[in-house]
Amino acid sequence: MAKQITSSSTAEYFAKNLQQVGFSSPTKAVLTTLKEAVDNSLDACEEAGILPEITVTVNKIGAGSSKSSDLVEIAVEDNGPGIEADDLAKVYGEYLASSKFGRGQCTRGQQGIGISAATTWAQLTNATGVKVTSKTAKMRKAVQATIDVDIKGNKGLLKNKETIDWEKPHGVRVEFRIDGRIQLNGDGGLLTYLEGTTLVNPHLKLNYKLVENDWVKIERVAEQVPDIPSPTLPHPHTMKLGEFMTHAGLFGKIEFGKFLKTGFSRIQDATLKELVKNGMPKQLIDLPTNKLTEDQFKTAFQVIQKTELQQPSTKSVLTVGEESLAKSILRLGDVDFFSVVARKPRIADFKPVVVEVALARFLNRGGGDEPIQLLRFANRVPLQFDKAACAITRAVETVNWRAYGLQQSKDSLPSGPYVFAISVVSPFIKFKNASKETIDGSEELIEEIRRALMQAGQKLSRHIRREHKEADLERKIAHIEQFGPILINYLGRITKASQLRKNKAEAGLKKLLGRDAQAAEKDLSEAELRLQALKERQAKAGMLFSASGATSDDGGADSDGEEMPPAFEAEDGEDTPKGTTKKGAKPEPAAVKAAPKKDAAPVTTTATTAKKAEIPASTVKSAVTTTAKAAK
Amino acid sequence: MDKVIRIRKLTKDIPKEAKLLCETMLTELENANRPVLEAVKCSLDNSIYNPKVGYLTPGDKKVRTELNVSSVQKMARVIFMLERLLVNLESGSVNTKRELYYIAKGVIRGDRDLKPLDFADQDESDSIIDFIGDMLEVYREELNCFANDRGGQTYSQHLVVTETLPDGDRAVVDLSTLGTTPFQPKNKPQALTLKAKKKIDFCLVVESEGTAGTLVANGMTRRHNCIVMGAQGVPSNGVRGWCKLIQEQLKVPMFFFGDLDAYTIQNIYRTLKAGSAASLIRNSDFSAPEVHFLGVLPEDVKRWDLPFYNVNDRDPVEARSLKKAKDALGNDPFFQDKKNRRLSAILEWLIKNKIRCEQQSYFSVNPRDPQQVEKIILEKINKGLYI
């Protein structure tokens, strides 16, 4: 006898397959829970136009129920608009209950799976769902309750509901107690996540305390809530036939032509005429959409696919912006120098996308031979697992970083104490899995990321080149001082020359090598001038971090495209305002973490040279002066 | 101290040449001009192969080092090391390269001002010594710098070697009296004169020293009027000079017996026959142009059904060897010369078939007969199965 076929609820499916949505290990469970809670808070604040202030605590409070896990408490509190009491169960306990599903907006959450999955994990591992405290501006008191997931019915269950006094005017606090393991550093670490979130959310004020560490308070560096662009309609070229038909089903019996015009972007009356010209039966346009047969749908779909349509609008994508990125990166630690690039929104695979890149060298991170730290972001959410399979990683590996002065083995990440932060924002990002860990990239998207990386690499290379020139000068000066006397001495020994001859030869040698040192000095000052020019252009373009600290908002572009590959020269010259800065540049908002080091006065070349060689600056200066004088 | 035996009749007075060079450099410096050091460019792209000459000779290219901030370190090192070598020449002392490396370190350690000159490893001091030789166009041995003895263990029942000692005395060594102990030429084979007690039919140079010993132990030198020598891999200057001496003084046919692989043909056999690109200025005294390649030949593999194995081109060493063979076909004048087309054909065959067959594989032919390899060698010599 055949077995009975049963159907399961969405919650049942996810409860059995939590590994698909980021709960595949105790370590990932902690990170995913934190991530879902913070994402929700940020999205809620942005939608309500509130500058987010989020407080995070993560603590180990005992032993976990399962083997080799701890009971971990994750609490996230925001100053968002709050959630109405009636909606709490739906938000935290029901799968696919989302206000954002398929809307075509650049929000972090999209499907309404993540936070319910976190509740399910808490319930499965600790027998209790999530404890939520919420208060909207209209409420006098806050509502507090525990929410479980009714797994059979895919519904949220509100328990222990009570009203409490809460000093906050509005906001939400969630507390999860789950089985997990706390990892702070590394690719999957909580700190890496919080740092990444800080970087791409310059408007975020974040306070956190992880385990026994001290409280960390990170001030916001942007005072404006990002304006989330309005949703965009899908472009017909991004759909498959089945999706096209399902989409049509939402429009009922309206005329097919009208459905095309209202259900998609880039289809107007003129487009319909073009479609008819390309073979779509004219009578189809006037037929009610729900009366179309499968064959008719197929014919229409095929004609649409082969008809050239205008590219979709790029207005729906949201960017962090170079200025904000530049300010934000300084919150991550002692930055030596950095370079940021925000590309203009582009179309890749008929989907609008914007790529932003921040490359920074840190003073106290990683070693020379270790790979750079790669921070990947999709719609401003850090991606922390399965790095190798991600389109962003592939793009970084395929750029020749050696050309920009970095070390790199073939087809690998470059190495050095750098952080590469790459953000891809699009209302239609294609992930490889439901847990949104890796971007599935087409060649077009990878190329767009590569272009951004190369632009940022060029700017970074100005700093690196200046350093190389500085080291070159240092080496040359050292050579003159060290080897010149030996050469003369041994020539004198072999030829049995008098001291007078040796003195004369030494003077001649200094004269000769002094000229070389002068040439090296000239190279260095040229490199410095180029770097300075870059900084000035950046200041002009509204970046706040020029060497002089000048600010301006008039926009601008880096016209110095001489190092760019020819293919990018014209395009990128007009395309992207660029900016870099050097450690020591002063950010506008005063309260920045680790401010004393960043506020240090810019070092001069000579002083730096001397410091590196561990000899007094005066010695170097005098050596250069001596050789310069000799040259005269 | 005894006078060091001369390798060749050198018309150059090395100390005088060196002093002249330093004098010129000093005068240039006094006038604030940049002194220049020039040396023969010892590389394949400056190698000429003329089959009538028989070995690689230098072309016109020079390595030119002009004084600037980048080259001042090299120049100081060259003049420093030159002074050390001149001290040796004057006193008649000799040293190996490694000893000179440590001598230099000792001198530098004793003088704080010399510290920047210090050599991090022997390669650094070796390259300076080689540059001095190429610059003065003299052999390293003429600068009293000798390599370690390696290879050249020689066995014969009919060879008598007379060595002229530095004090003028002569030492006579009859190789037939040494039993199974080989005669090993020192690194100055030019100080030796050779005599055959009886007509010697051939000289066999075996790549593997072990196999040479086996052939002798099994009685090859007793049964045949021959010389058997072990090369011990890439022939050292001593082995190359020794073969040259045997070839010139005894005028006996000489055969090289080694593996069938790109490395042996390109690095071992080519160096023995025509010298190397790195020693262009001394190949005339350190190569034996008449030596034949006896095998293993590709046709031997089929003829005697020799076991072979496939070259694993994923192995970095073997892959590099194959690549070098390809490069040799493209840019080595020795393999490009028509006279050596059979050798280049073997290289092509090896690159195509990616196999290796070792000299010891002949032992598989008739494992019960200890003289089988000797018989095959004789058969190949008698039938002209060589290149």
| pLDDT, tens digit (0-9, with 9 covering 90-100), for A75-125 | 999 999 998 888 888 888 776 555 544 455 545 655 556 788 888 888 888
CB contact under 8 A, B32 and A491: no
User: What is the β-pairing status of strands B254-257 and B202-206?
Assistant: parallel
Q: Minimum mean pLDDT among A313-317, A385-389, B125-129: which range?
A: A313-317
From the list A44, A38, A72, the residue with the least C-alpha distance to A56 is A38
The reported pLDDT for the residue numbered B150 is 81
Asked if the domains at A10-218 and A339-461 fall in one CATH topology, the answer is no
- Sorted by sequence, the CB contacts under 8 Å of residue B295 that are 6+ apart come out as B257, B258, B260, B359, B380, B385, B386
The reported pLDDT for the residue numbered A601 is 31
For residues B66-71, average pLDDT: 84
For residues A14-37, average pLDDT: 79
The reported pLDDT for the residue numbered A586 is 33
For residues B58-85, average pLDDT: 91
CB contact under 8 A, B26 and A491: yes
Q: Does A510 touch chain B (CB under 8 A)?
A: no
A/B interface, count of CB pairs below 8 Å: 91
Q: Please give the mean pLDDT across all residues of chain B.
A: 91
Q: Does B76 touch chain A (CB under 8 A)?
A: yes
pLDDT at A619 over 50: no
Write out chain B residues lying below 8 Å of A507, CB-based. 32
From the list A221, A93, A100, A111, the residue with the least C-alpha distance to A154 is A93
CB contact under 8 A, B72 and A483: yes
Write out chain A residues lying below 8 Å of B33, CB-based. 508, 512
The better pLDDT of the pair A368, A72 is held by A72
Q: Best residue in B20, B26, B85 to probe A by mutation, most A CBs within 10 Å?
A: B26
Residues A166-201 have pLDDT tens digits of 999 999 999 999 888 999 988 888 998 998 888 888
The better pLDDT of the pair A557, B71 is held by B71
pLDDT at A13 over 80: no
How many other β-carbons are positioned within 10 Å of the β-carbon of residue A136? 18
Under 8 Å between Cβ of B194 and B159: yes
Q: Which of A483, A495, A520 is the closest to B73 by Cβ?
A: A483
The reported pLDDT for the residue numbered A542 is 53
Q: Minimum mean pLDDT among A497-501, B70-74, B226-230, B316-320: which range?
A: B316-320
Residues B32-57 have pLDDT tens digits of 999 999 999 999 999 999 999 999 99
CB contact under 8 A, A494 and B29: no
Distance CA B305, CA A232 (A): 76
Spell out the alpha helix ranges (H) of A417-544: 443-495, 499-540
Mean pLDDT comparison of A17-26, A308-317, B240-249, highest-scoring range? B240-249
Written out in words, the top-level CATH class of the domain with range A339-461 is alpha beta
Degrees, nearest 5: CA angle A323-A329-A332: 160
CB contact under 8 A, B30 and A504: yes
Q: Does B120 touch chain A (CB under 8 A)?
A: no
CB contact under 8 A, B26 and A476: no
pLDDT at A2 over 60: no
Chain B residue with Cα closest to A500 = B30
Distance CA A87, CA A110 (A): 17
Distance CA A393, CA A441 (A): 10
B296 preceded by cis ω (within 30°)?
Answer: yes
Domains of chain B: 14-143 (1.10.10), 201-383 (3.40.1360.10)
Q: Which of B33, B67, B82 is the closest to A494 by Cβ?
A: B82
- Sorted by sequence, the CB contacts under 8 Å of residue A41 that are 6+ apart come out as A52, A54, A76, A78, A80, A172
CB contact under 8 A, A486 and B86: no
Q: Does A479 touch chain B (CB under 8 A)?
A: yes
Write out chain B residues lying below 8 Å of A483, CB-based. 72-73, 75-76, 116-117
pLDDT at B206 over 90: yes
Q: Does A504 touch chain B (CB under 8 A)?
A: yes
For residues A524-549, average pLDDT: 61
Distance CA A551, CA B161 (A): 90
pLDDT at B372 over 90: yes
Report DSSP state, residue B151: S
* CA–CA min distance A492, chain B (Å): 8
Report DSSP state, residue B266: I
pLDDT at A498 over 80: yes
CB contact under 8 A, B72 and A495: no
CB contact under 8 A, B70 and A476: yes
Write out chain A residues lying below 8 Å of B25, CB-based. 491
The reported pLDDT for the residue numbered A538 is 64
Q: Please give the mean pLDDT across all residues of chain A.
A: 75
Confirm whether pTM is higher than 0.90.
Answer: no
The structural domains of chain A, with segments of one domain joined by +, span 10-218, 236-306, 339-461, 474-631
Residue A379 structure tokens = 């719609």
Report percent pLDDT > 70 for chain A. 75
pLDDT at A363 over 50: yes
CB contact under 8 A, A486 and B116: yes
Under 8 Å between Cβ of B127 and B119: no
Write out chain B residues lying below 8 Å of A484, CB-based. 72, 76
Tell which CATH classification among 3.30.360.10, 2.60.40.1180, 3.30.565.10, 3.40.50.20 matches the domain A10-218: 3.30.565.10
Q: Does B75 touch chain A (CB under 8 A)?
A: yes
β-partners of residue A162 are A144
- Sorted by sequence, the CB contacts under 8 Å of residue B87 that are 6+ apart come out as B93
The reported pLDDT for the residue numbered A614 is 32
Q: Minimum mean pLDDT among A333-337, A388-392, A499-503: which range?
A: A333-337
